[in-house]
Amino acid sequence: MSVAGVVVTHGRDPGIDDCLSSLRPQVDELVVVANPPAPEVDVRLIVNDRALGFATNANQGIAATTAPYVVIANPDTEPRADAVELLFEFAETHPRAGIVGPQLLFPDGRWQPSRRRFPTISGTVVRRTPLRKLLRPQTRQLEHYMLED
């Protein structure tokens, strides 16, 4: 199994130590990409000169790895002990899958919705502007959030 882990943080996060401790034994390489201020970690650390977005940071981390598979995580992620192995096995047996993701759970064990449909322009405008306060996309855009399935 050859899997890298990339943790993206936008400053110091109190959960990063638990995240790294949970992820480290499951991956072959581990990289943290951080916006300032950078956390103190004992893994490969890439620190941006200025704050960058999540996707840019994730791409930086991916480029810094050599593994054919990469797990991208937020610093508050606490993967179960077999999570990466299960994702790896699924990816290996489903070679047409472009992306594989785990089921997310809240700390109390409840299902955490994380899937989304491809964004539309109008939906993005509602979700990313002050219109979100008026139109409440989390209740009006159930199709985008795939909460009706």
Strand order in the sheet with 29-34: 44-47, 29-34, 3-9, 69-73
Host domain of residue 133: 115-149
Q: Is residue 107 part of a domain?
A: no
pTM strictly above 0.85 = no
Domain count, the chain: 2
Q: Is residue 109 part of a domain?
A: no
Nearest partner of 6 among 101, 14, 28, judged by Cα = 28
Residues 89 and 122 in one domain: no
Residues 89 and 19 in one domain: yes
State pLDDT tens for residues 52-109. 999 999 999 999 999 999 999 999 999 999 999 999 999 999 999 999 999 999 889 9
Q: Is residue 80 part of a domain?
A: yes
Q: Is residue 21 part of a domain?
A: yes
State pLDDT tens for residues 110-145. 988 887 788 888 888 888 888 888 887 777 677 777
